[in-house]
């Protein structure tokens, strides 16, 4: 060993360094302590799991209509054409919506309308349909996109 020191080369046996290992363990422990506070426990969530429920009354299903708006402006009610692509007033659709709303009111059910527009349909045409629904006082309206064929 004396010869190695004379040459300037030292080969000390430093052994296992514990200080860096303790630092790493503390950083990992700190990470898990911080992340434990961000995790929501399942019993804290206000959810109800599905199950079998027996009801005393008969459940009535709402009346559901689908209005489709095609790329060329054609409006269809439940897959049947209801007006021409150039008809901005959509009077026939208005009459059908009034009839459907009156039937739902008399049957004490909800009227649900789904507007299903193709991705390339003009927004103006969808707004025309929404104007007719507002004029007919239909308030339960949802939107969907047409599925590619």
Per-residue pLDDT of the chain (149 residues; tens, 9 = 90+): 555 555 666 667 777 788 889 999 999 999 988 888 776 666 565 667 677 767 666 656 667 888 888 888 888 888 888 877 787 788 888 888 888 888 888 877 888 888 888 888 888 888 888 898 888 888 888 888 756 55
Are 111 and 62 contacting, i.e. CB atoms less than 8 angstroms apart?
yes
Alpha-carbon span 129 to 134, nearest angstrom: 9
The pLDDT assigned to 51 comes to: 74
Dihedral angle at the C-alpha atoms of 84, 85, 89, 91, nearest 10 degrees? 30
Which domains does the chain show, CATH number per domain?
A: 63-145 (3.30.420.270)
The pLDDT assigned to 26 comes to: 95
Does this model's pTM top 0.75? My answer is no
The pLDDT assigned to 70 comes to: 86
DSSP string for 101-134: HHHHHHTT--EEEEEEE-TTS-HHHHHHHHHHHH
Pairing of strands 141-145, 111-117: parallel
CB atoms within 10 A of CB 107: 12
The pLDDT assigned to 120 comes to: 85
The pLDDT assigned to 97 comes to: 87
């Amino acid at each position: 060993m004396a010869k190695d020191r004379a040459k300037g080369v030292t080969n000390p046996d430093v052994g296992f360094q514990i200080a860096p290992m303790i630092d790493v363990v503390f950083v990992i422990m700190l990470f898990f302590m911080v992340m434990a506070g961000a995790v929501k426990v399942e019993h804290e969530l206000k959810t109800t799991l599905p199950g079998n429920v027996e009801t005393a009354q008969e459940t009535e299903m709402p009346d559901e209509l689908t209005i489709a708006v095609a790329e060329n402006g054609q409006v269809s009610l439940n897959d049947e054409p209801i007006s021409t692509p150039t008809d901005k007033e959509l009077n026939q659709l208005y009459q059908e919506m009034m009839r459907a709303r009156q039937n739902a009111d008399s049957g004490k059910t909800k009227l649900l309308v789904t507007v299903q527009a193709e991705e390339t349909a003009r927004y103006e045409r969808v707004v025309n349909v929404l104007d007719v629904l507002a004029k007919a006082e239909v308030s339960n309206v949802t939107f969907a996109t047409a599925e590619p064929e």
